[in-house]
Chain A
């Protein structure tokens, strides 16, 4: 049986993890490769690296990081953050990334999704959608959720699927950082409408929140960052409890 996926997300800047992490057993808490290895060994199903580097050296440092991660890690991983061209994607996939996640660049040039899917196959093209509610409507945001667009979340998700995206990473900016639970209603709306897998992100704070994003939210995967980094929830404990709640998990 296909299992639901638990996905820790690492924020990266110039090849280093940004947010503090609380792993006493890490020799170097800022080394994403070491952190990734620990997650991989302790039950994570997949990893996401979100790069927020904003320098001209960005591509090179990110490709270096992807190479080091791919050498060490034997679970799939996705790389995102400022990826905007076929060349960017080609360099990252050739370095060993399994998938790339595109956000603002797809909003700016939706045709990019078609080109990427045709060049590399849908399976490695993840479209990240940052959504925030404005006057009762779910609106797509770019630039880390700061800049509203004219796009409605559900229509945009449908469009990116039609253009060849292989997966959607939905972050509810209203829930992100709150630890008050995922955006289950919106997640379920999208997940039942789409035929491609959906990763839910934003708001996971307790084991029960994860339970609900898989049952009420019908998500295929759930992503979180700080609760894993600070060991508020151990991935293995989380997966065991979800399995007991009849949510299929790889244990």
Chain B
């Protein structure tokens, strides 16, 4: 199986690559259009800042490519956010795969911290990505969130309920880092690879 991990200016891609290797996959880390188009699965990972990430994707014309793919596609963390319509981070128009807005968490009430950092449960989850899991605990690190909408397939609650998982056709996304989320996260990656 050919798995492409999209190469762009987002940090900590190495953890995703190692997680895939632990599952017996040798992913290719690339921004090459032909290699991405030819892959059986595409993973869009990352950590970073929305406006500079989108600027890079546009410069490489990856924005057009990524939203017209047909194979299973998985966005992780900022990957999920960039798949939405717009992000408040840097007032950035994003890929628009999901018709959703990404907002900054409101000023937290006492005892809440920002970033939302640590293990939180994914609830009301459905669809193939979380098959075999029951309210899994996953590792989150983020200060912006995607609002709830018709494509929401899992809800995470922190300060307010937001989209912890999204799906539209072949496009899947999770706000947490499955590559860092122990056995539950590994199950999500296994489910994705089995699509």
Residues on A facing B (Cβ under 8 Å): 1-5, 40, 45, 70-71, 74-76, 93-96, 98, 120-124, 166-167, 192, 194-198, 218, 220-221, 250
Contact = CB atoms under 8 A, between A and B. Distances in A.
Contacts of B139: 75-76
Name B's interface SS: mixed
Given A75-B139, A96-B12, A197-B118, A123 B47 contact: yes
Contacts of A124: 11-12, 47
B121 interface: yes
Contact of B113 (A75, A120, A196): A196
A196 B11 contact: no
B92 interface: no
Contacts of A221: 118
B118 A70 contact: no
Interface of B: 11-12, 14-15, 18-19, 21-22, 47-49, 108, 110-111, 113-121, 137, 139-143, 157-158, 177, 179-183, 185-186
B182 A74 contact: yes
Given A1-B157, A70-B18, A74-B180, A93 B114 contact: no
A96 B17 CA distance: 10
B115 A123 contact: yes
Contacts of B116: 2
Closest 5 CB pairs between A and B? Answer: A96-B14, A250-B137, A250-B119, A197-B113, A2-B120
